[in-house]
């Protein structure tokens, strides 16, 4: 197995673990929100649906910035999330689309390319292997959050504020806006 094949296998496996953690949730549990302690930050609004959106956007932005000359921009992702809204099924579909995009964004890399420098969405350069590994492990990290949140949250019929205006403010200054 080549290094690229191993990274692809890892990506598919971590994604399957995240997808498995999300499987069978109702929209009401995806909307439920944990109260964060002052200063705490989950890269989301504290909901499972927020985690799904965050992971999807990261897959698009890492893949687009590093391997596709920033063809997808932050504003496109925020606009898409505004269109999708709080629909659980639509957000799961967006995550699946992001995984396909992520894998396709680096499918032409060879093992020799993995040490090459690629643009990180913050404007710095990272080796290809590091970008790929970071995104792969990102699924595992947030999958763990999903597992924890699903065990402590109480379902709600009230859609959450997705915090997209705050998200827009947080990324508007990044190079790929």
pLDDT in tens, 100-116: 999 999 999 999 999 99
Per the structure, the count of domains in the chain is 1
Q: Please report the pLDDT score of residue 38 as a whole number.
A: 84
| Domain presence at residue 37 | no
Let me know if residue 93 belongs to a domain: yes
What CATH number is given to the structural domain containing 130?
A: 1.20.120
Q: Give pLDDT tens digits for 77-99.
A: 999 999 999 999 999 999 999 99
Residue 159 gets which letter from DSSP? P
Q: Which residues contact 72 (CB under 8 A, 6 or more apart)?
A: 60, 61, 63, 64, 101
Query: Does an H or E element contain 111, and which?
Result: none
Mean pLDDT of 6-22: 97
Asked whether the beta carbons of 105 and 66 are under 8 A apart, the reply is: yes
pTM over 0.85: yes
Does residue 29 form part of some domain? no
**Tens digits of residue pLDDT in 28-67:** 999 999 988 887 777 788 999 999 999 999 999 999 999 9
Query: Which residue segment(s) compose the domain that 67 sits in?
Result: 3-14+47-171
- Categorize the per-residue pLDDT at 166 as very low, low, confident or very high, splitting at 50, 70 and 90: confident
Whether residue 86 is contained in a domain is answered as yes
Map tokens 């080549």 to a residue. Answer: 2
Rounded CA gap, 40 and 45, in Å? Answer: 11
Residues ≥6 apart with Cβ < 8 Å to 96 = 19
Q: Is 40 part of any domain?
A: no
**Structural domain includes residue 154:** yes
- Give bridge partners of residue 127 from the DSSP assignment: 117
Q: Does some domain include residue 55?
A: yes
- At residue 119, φ and ψ (nearest 5 deg) are -75, 125
């Amino acid at each position: 197995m080549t290094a690229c094949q191993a990274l692809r296998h890892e990506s598919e496996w971590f994604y399957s673990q995240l997808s498995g953690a999300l499987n069978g949730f109702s929209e009401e549990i995806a909307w439920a929100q944990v109260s964060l302690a002052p200063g705490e930050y989950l890269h989301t609004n504290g909901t499972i649906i927020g985690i799904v959106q965050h992971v999807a956007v990261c897959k698009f932005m890492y893949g687009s910035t590093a391997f596709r000359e920033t063809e997808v921009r932050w504003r496109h992702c925020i606009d898409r999330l505004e269109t999708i809204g709080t629909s659980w099924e639509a957000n799961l579909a967006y995550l699946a689309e992001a995984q396909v995009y992520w894998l396709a964004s680096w499918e032409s890399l060879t093992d020799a390319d993995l040490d090459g420098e690629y643009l990180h969405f913050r404007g710095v350069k990272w080796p290809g292997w590091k970008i790929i590994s970071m995104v792969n492990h990102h699924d595992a990290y947030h999958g763990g959050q999903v597992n924890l949140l699903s065990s402590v949250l109480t379902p709600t019929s009230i859609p959450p504020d997705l915090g997209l205006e705050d998200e827009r403010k947080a990324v508007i200054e990044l190079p790929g806006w």
